[in-house]
Amino acid sequence: MANDDWKGLCLETCVYGKCTRAEIMELWEDMRALSSSITTPCVVGGNFNVLTFIEEYIGRSHPDVQAMEDFNTTIHDCYLLELPFSRRLFTWTGNRQGRQV
């Protein structure tokens, strides 16, 4: 890194987002609370079970636009930056052997 203040310390947090609206809203609040107390660089990764943009979706059902707005608000509130893709945009599909997953 070019920054001389960098000491090499970085926190890593792995997330698995629950699927119910109440549970995911609780996760967003927990992330906001945590972000206000962290002063070192942090990487947050995992499966949030929600999209940031409609362009990330391919499928027959309609994505939850309100969930996307809530997620993007949380990303903004927590001062998070999304890392850009370097290869395929879609790495997973919800259809396995003819069944919807």
Q: What is the pLDDT of residues 27-83, one digit of tens each?
A: 999 999 999 998 888 889 888 888 888 887 777 888 889 999 999 999 999 999 887
17/90: higher pLDDT: 17
The whole-number pLDDT of residue 72 equals: 95
The whole-number pLDDT of residue 1 equals: 44
Cα–Cα dist 71/92, whole Å: 20
Contacts of 68 (CB under 8 A, 6+ apart): 50, 51, 52, 53, 54
The whole-number pLDDT of residue 59 equals: 77
The whole-number pLDDT of residue 77 equals: 96
